[in-house]
């Protein structure tokens, strides 16, 4: 019989994956257990103080936090709706978190998240959120207008679009092959859309920092566009001259457009966009169908951005 020396043990051989992936939280948890203070295990959720905002959706009923944080599209953490809430919390969000901003700008910068969050008072904004899959929720987000950040770098006259990129770590996230779309995830806006006051640079929801599955630590929320435009976990912003590549529009251009403004008259080729299912409402929370509004009901504020444009053609 051949006796071979066992190869060196790896972390993964002796430690359950949840623990070594979250070793810092595990250590934190052990420390907390040692100490007298009974710290919650999820030490990552921190309270955020925010002022009320002028940008609030009428008298909409808030969707429950359970639904907002338990039913997500975040393909890096799985393509099922409940996968992200199961997998994303195991991801240790890099700290410090930085966003590098460059391209056609006068002053390219790499900014620390803590510094970014001090640029302006945090506001709580209650927005309707409409997914391209014809479901919708109402979320109390926390953040401030993206324009506050973008003004820091002084875009040049060449800049016409803004491209965004999601953090990607293949060790804890799906591969592009598994998810079917390219990673790192990319999204983009026209400059005037990015500078619009409704476009929110978002750090939290329901009074706390963002849970990982909702795009921690920083994301966009563009309430008049389908949800996939509201890119999560941003670590790169680039000002560019031409319309940038964006994930879904690049993957299936006949199904998802660059603009992707909520539009009940322009159906997705495989399903209708005339209606949407408001999650959590109705008998046993089965969801209530309601008509979808043009620009998700934000037409008064944003329709002028598209005057003269054929929104069926530029979907």
- Would you count residue 62 as binding another protein (CB under 8 A)? no
* Integer-rounded Cα radius of gyration of the chain: 21
Dihedral through CA 50, CA 54, CA 60, CA 65, nearest 10? Answer: -20
Nearest distance from residue 262's CB to another protein, in Å? Answer: 17
Q: What is the DSSP letter of 284?
A: G
Beta-bridged to residue 190, according to DSSP, are 161
To another protein, the closest distance from the beta carbon of 181 in angstroms equals 5
Give rounded-to-5 percent helix, strand, coil for the chain. Answer: 25, 25, 50
Bond prior to 96 in cis (omega within 30° of 0) = yes
**Ranges within 246-305 binding another protein (CB under 8 A):** 251-252, 267, 270-272, 277, 279-280, 284-287
Site for another protein in 16-55 (CB under 8 A): none
CA distances to 34, 72, 269, 270, 278 from 211, rounded to whole Å, are 26, 11, 33, 31, 21
Q: Is 67 in the site for another protein (CB under 8 A)?
A: yes
Check: CB of residue 128 under 8 Å from CB of residue 276.
no
Which CB, 61 or 286, lies closer to another protein?
Answer: 286
Rounded distance, CA 19 to CA 27, Å?
A: 9
Q: How far is the CB of 249 from another protein (least distance, A)?
A: 12
Pick from 88, 162, 181, 249 the residue near another protein by CB under 8 A. 181
Residue 140 binds another protein (CB under 8 A): no
Candidates 188, 202, 227; CA nearest to 149 is 202
What's the min distance (Å) between Cβ of 257 and another protein? 15
Least distance to another protein from the beta carbon of 47, Å? 25
Q: Site residues (CB under 8 A) for another protein?
A: 66-67, 70-71, 75, 79, 81-82, 133, 135, 178-181, 251-252, 267, 270-272, 277, 279-280, 284-287
């Amino acid at each position: 019989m051949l006796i071979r020396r066992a190869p060196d043990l790896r972390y993964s051989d002796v430690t359950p994956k949840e623990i070594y992936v979250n070793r810092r939280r595990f250590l934190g948890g052990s420390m907390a257990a040692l100490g007298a203070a009974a710290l919650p295990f999820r030490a990552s959720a921190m309270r955020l103080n925010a002022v009320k905002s002028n940008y609030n959706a009428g008298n909409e009923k808030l969707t429950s936090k359970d639904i907002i944080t338990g039913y997500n599209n975040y393909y890096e953490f799985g393509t099922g709706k409940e996968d992200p809430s199961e997998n994303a919390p195991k991801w240790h969000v890099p700290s410090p978190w930085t966003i590098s901003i460059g391209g056609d700008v006068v002053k390219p910068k790499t900014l620390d998240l803590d510094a970014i969050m001090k640029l302006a008072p945090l506001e709580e904004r209650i927005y309707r959120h409409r997914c391209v899959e014809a479901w919708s929720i109402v979320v109390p987000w926390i953040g401030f207008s993206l324009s506050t950040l973008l003004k820091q770098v002084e875009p040049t006259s060449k800049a016409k679009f803004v491209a965004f990129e999601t953090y990607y770590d293949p060790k804890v996230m799906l591969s592009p092959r598994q998810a079917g779309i390219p990673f790192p995830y990319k999204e983009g806006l026209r400059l005037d859309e990015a500078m619009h006051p409704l476009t929110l640079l978002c750090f939290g929801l329901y009074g706390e920092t963002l849970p990982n599955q909702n795009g921690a630590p920083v994301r966009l929320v563009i309430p008049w566009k389908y949800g996939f435009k509201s890119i999560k976990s941003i670590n790169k912003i680039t000002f560019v001259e031409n319309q940038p590549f964006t994930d879904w529009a690049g993957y299936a251009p006949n199904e998802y457009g660059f603009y992707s403004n909520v539009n009940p008259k322009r159906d997705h080729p495989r399903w209708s966009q005339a209606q949407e299912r408001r999650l959590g409402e109705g008998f046993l929370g089965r969801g209530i169908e309601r008509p979808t509004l043009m620009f998700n009901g934000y037409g008064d504020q944003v329709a002028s951005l598209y005057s003269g444009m054929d929104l069926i053609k530029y979907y």
